[in-house]
Structure 1
Amino acid sequence: MQIVPSDGLKVIIRHFLIYHPSTSNSVMTFFSDGNPGIVVPLSYSRLPFLHNQKLQEGELIAYGLMEHPIIIPPPPACGIIVIVLQPYALAFLSGIKPERLKNCILPLSALFGLSASFLQMAIRGLNDEGAIIKELERFFFNLLSTLPPTDELLRESLYHMKQSNGKISIQELLRGLFVSERLLERRFDRFIGISPKKLNGILRINHYLKLLRDPNHVYTPVQAAIEAGFYDQAHLNNKFKEITSTSPLKYLASLDPLAMNLFSFRG
């Protein structure tokens, strides 16, 4: 279930995603949707997502933008809340360069120190998901109150890219924004860590998946590929495997998809 954040937080949060797994023993594949995020365990459980460090009960983790798919252990049976952030938000909030956050999963306390510890204490013992989200929003409002406004050019470029589902060409984007390609690439490098072209490709793949799973319109794989802006099936398959590590058909046969970019295979 997706929950939209309060209006004042939409500049940094895309949505909250509440997930209760139907199975507790399936490893999962995670691939990029173009956004970093934060994972919150429900019922003060322990997340299994850090292989080189044992997490404490109730400890939150953050993940940067992932360039390659990764395998993660199954989430706790009690469920999780995923805070899906805007592409630039984790670097903006933490003050850490996106290049250092890219492909990383780390405890939230490593980014926000005592503020993250106080947040974990505040949600400890809360069983109501709505109450947990209120505490999470309070945390983000407090962070935003100490920071300057987010970059307007970055917000506007991301808006047009997402509105087109990644189909807008970079040249068309530049003409609409009245900026040079060099300037836009520098902003993306500074705040997101990948190029506009690469993010466009990620958005197109995720749009393709949405089309295939659209309950109101039945698309064949070829129809969905054309609608998503891929010029042929081979082009789609190559880009799909690069981002997800699997094929479209295997993805569609996956078990218990949490979101477009998280799934497990049937045994």
Structure 2
Amino acid sequence: MQVSPSSQLSGFIKHYIFLKNTEKDHKDLRLFADGNTGLILSPDMNMSDSSKQNLPSSFFYGQPTVYKDLYTKGEFSLLAVVFQPYFFNLLFGVSAKETKNEIISATDILKNQLLPFQESLYKKDDPQSIINALDLFFLKLISKKNMSELWLIKAQQYLLQNKGTVSLKKLERFTGYSERHIERTFENHIGLSPKRYNTIIRLHHFLGLMKNTTKNTTMTSLSYEAGYTDQSHLIKDFKNIIGLTPGQYLTTKNKLAVNFIELH
């Protein structure tokens, strides 16, 4: 289940996602880049990474630049808070460049402030009541912050609106800043270069087209519609970001979220 935040938070939180697994078998999962960072909250999740290291039950994840394979055992429920790409940096003042691909225990940053939300999930409280409480929690945190790079939000939205087809020269004209300043700000606040962020946006635009396509639509026509000049470029981005070919992704049955799938 995907739920939008309050309108006051829409510039900072993209959405909330509730996921639940009722099966006792282990699951092989893959998290891949969608241009955002986030927070995973769970009261009962037994999850490990590819090195078999157990992950905290609740954690922040920095900007993914490579796909990450995760493994779970038994039943679990979780709430993913998907941040706008600059929100983690705004909240905690940590360079997004330093937290790329990192998983950080929520307790290390916020001590026990998130415990009430974990307990609410454990008690299976009404999802909307949990989200309302989280909205208030984040609004309180934001009220103490000062967003000094407001142009960055407009630039990020510009890239999204143009579905990842904006050149650095166009971005320079749009913002009024030099290419070097734009690249440095994107790296520090989002964790990606504008070029890499463009690539991720374009691929996810293609995934959206794939999801809503008809049987008569070819992969080639979809790739052109998404801004790819040829299919080899599309396949390269697919393998680089998701670790699968378009065909393999298409046959993946359990797509838990836009950047979270179950492998078989």
1:9 matched residue in structure 2:
9
CA drift of 1:19 comes to 2.4
User: 2-side partners of 1:265 and 1:124: how far apart?
Assistant: 26
User: 2-side partners of 1:71 and 1:60: how far apart?
Assistant: 17
Residue type at the aligned position of 2:15:
H
CA drift of 1:77 comes to 3.4
Residues 111, 219 of structure 1: CA spacing in aligned structure 2 closer, same or farther, 3 A cutoff? farther
2:246 matched residue in structure 1:
248
Residues 54, 258 of structure 1: CA spacing in aligned structure 2 closer, same or farther, 3 A cutoff? closer
Instruction: Please give the TM-score of this superposition, normalised by the length of structure 2.
Output: 0.89
Secondary structure at the residue paired with 2:98?
A: helix
2:44 matched residue in structure 1:
45
1:28 matched residue in structure 2:
29
Secondary structure at the residue paired with 2:254?
A: strand
Task: Tell me if structure 1 keeps the 8 A contact 2:48–2:55.
Answer: no
Instruction: Please give the TM-score of this superposition, normalised by the length of structure 1.
Output: 0.89
User: 2-side partners of 1:124 and 1:95: how far apart?
Assistant: 31
What are structure 2's unaligned runs of at least 5 residues?
none
User: 1-side partners of 2:210 and 2:239: how far apart?
Assistant: 16
What are structure 1's unaligned runs of at least 5 residues?
none
Secondary structure at the residue paired with 1:45?
A: coil
2:91 matched residue in structure 1:
93
Deviations 1:143-182 (A, max 9, x none): 1111113521110000101111112222222212222111
CA drift of 1:216 comes to 6.9
Residue type at the aligned position of 1:27:
D
Q: Indicate which of 129, 137, 162 corresponds to 2:135.
A: 137
Task: Tell me if structure 2 keeps the 8 A contact 1:63–1:105.
Answer: yes
Deviations 1:74-109 (A, max 9, x none): 386353221110111112111212122110112212
User: 1-side partners of 2:208 and 2:22: how far apart?
Assistant: 21
Q: How does 1:84-233 map to 2 (within 5 A)?
A: 84-117=82-115, 119-120=117-118, 125-149=123-147, 151-214=149-212, 219-233=217-231
User: 1-side partners of 2:263 and 2:97: how far apart?
Assistant: 31
Residue type at the aligned position of 1:48:
M
Secondary structure at the residue paired with 1:167?
A: coil
Task: Tell me if structure 1 keeps the 8 A contact 2:59–2:105.
Answer: yes
Residues 75, 205 of structure 1: CA spacing in aligned structure 2 closer, same or farther, 3 A cutoff? farther
Deviations 1:20-79 (A, max 9, x none): 3475532111110010111122xx323414653464xxx421111111111111386353
User: 2-side partners of 1:89 and 1:30: how far apart?
Assistant: 19
User: 1-side partners of 2:148 and 2:214: how far apart?
Assistant: 36
Residue type at the aligned position of 2:208:
K
User: 2-side partners of 1:84 and 1:218: how far apart?
Assistant: 34
Residues 122, 258 of structure 1: CA spacing in aligned structure 2 closer, same or farther, 3 A cutoff? closer
User: 1-side partners of 2:88 and 2:216: how far apart?
Assistant: 36
User: 2-side partners of 1:221 and 1:22: how far apart?
Assistant: 35
Q: Indicate which of 58, 61, 66 corresponds to 2:59.
A: 61
Secondary structure at the residue paired with 2:109?
A: helix
Task: Tell me if structure 2 keeps the 8 A contact 1:93–1:143.
Answer: yes
Identity of aligned residues (%): 28
User: 2-side partners of 1:226 and 1:76: how far apart?
Assistant: 42
CA drift of 1:123 comes to 5.7
User: 2-side partners of 1:214 and 1:150: how far apart?
Assistant: 38
User: 1-side partners of 2:87 and 2:215: how far apart?
Assistant: 33
CA drift of 1:117 comes to 4.2
Residue type at the aligned position of 1:219:
T
Residue type at the aligned position of 1:52:
Q
Secondary structure at the residue paired with 1:229?
A: coil
Secondary structure at the residue paired with 1:62?
A: strand
